[in-house]
Amino acid sequence: MLALKLDGVTRRYGEREALSGISLTLQQGATLLVLGGNGAGKTTLLRLIAALLRPHAGEIEVLGRRLPSEAWMVRGNVGLLSHEPLLYRELTAEENLSFHARLHGLHADRVKDLLSELALSEFAKEQVKTLSRGIVQRVAIARAVLHDPELLLLDEPRANLDPAASEIVEPLIGRSSRRTRVLVSHDPSGGIAEADVVLGLRNGRCALLADADEVRLSEAMDLYR
């Protein structure tokens, strides 16, 4: 089953095309790596798949549902980890997760279990604004996976994480999670190693689309030049 299908997807901001004619498919359980320099269109692509933006042209299907008309049927099965943590800074880590748990109809035990799994229990009662960037990143990851989504949209998921923290989050967001993933990364070497398909963007256009085992590191690096 296809987890993701894009057909000629275009998105504009004013007269500027942030994405232009992007087409691809991704099988369920596979990982799509999205590469490209600043302004290439990576974040716009994630926001379109998450149904936070509408395309100006083309079609998007996520988990067999067409966006935006069936977005309400998809959102509960998608987890988004943005480059912004999407957390309320004045609330504690536990309050943030409890709020999202209520939105998804989840029991409070799910929050406590996840805080423990991500070694966050000692920070649970602290306001997000007082936490280090690495801890905030772990709380944001907890929010993204709280409802056990089928599809994860991950924008630099290991940013601000030390090696120990990266190891802690791996079972939830890494390849071993067995979830379908769309992974934005500025680390072509590491990203290719955990991907099935690679999409390279340059100025909103597709500059590279291939199976990961066919992509040379040199051509991936060219996307940043």
Give the C-alpha separation, 98 to 111, whole Å: 6
Pairing mode, strands 180-184 and 16-27: unpaired
Q: In the prediction, which pLDDT does 66 show?
A: 96
Q: Which H, E and C letters describe 20-39, residue by residue?
A: EEEEEEEECCCEEEEECCCC
Cis ω on the peptide bond leading into residue 68 (within 30° of 0)? Answer: yes
Instruction: Answer yes or no: are the C-beta atoms of 63 and 153 closer than 8 Å.
Output: no
Amino acid identity, position 223? L
What is the distance between the alpha carbons of residues 221 and 54, in angstroms, rounded to a whole number? Answer: 30
- Look at residue 1 in the predicted model and tell me its pLDDT: 81
Residue 81 · residue 69 · CB < 8 Å: no
End-to-end CA distance of the chain: 36
CB 120 within 8 A of CB 139: yes
The per-residue pLDDT for 25 is 98
Query: Do the Cβ atoms of 182 and 49 come closer than 8 Å?
Result: yes
CB 41 within 8 A of CB 204: yes
Check: pTM over 0.75? Answer yes or no: yes
Neighbours of 189 (CB within 10 A): 10
Sequential DSSP letters for 84-118: S----TTSBHHHHHHHHHHHTT--HHHHHHHHHHT
Read off the tokens for 62. 């996520």
Looking at this protein, which amino acid is placed at residue 201? L
Q: Which domain holds residue 28?
A: 2-224
Q: Domain tally for the chain?
A: 1
| Cα–Cα distance, 92 to 110 (Å, whole number) | 16
CB 131, CB 93: distance < 8 Å: yes
Please answer whether residues 123 and 135 qualify as being in contact, where contact means their C-beta atoms are separated by less than 8 angstroms.
yes
DSSP class of residue 127? Answer: B
Q: What is the pLDDT of residue 130?
A: 98
Q: How do the pLDDT tens digits run along the chain, 225 residues long?
A: 899 999 999 999 999 999 999 999 999 999 999 999 999 999 999 999 999 999 999 999 999 999 999 999 998 999 999 988 899 999 999 999 999 999 999 999 999 999 999 999 999 999 999 999 999 999 999 999 999 999 999 999 999 999 999 999 999 999 999 999 999 998 999 999 999 999 999 999 999 999 999 999 999 999 998
CATH number (domain holding residue 44): 3.40.50.300
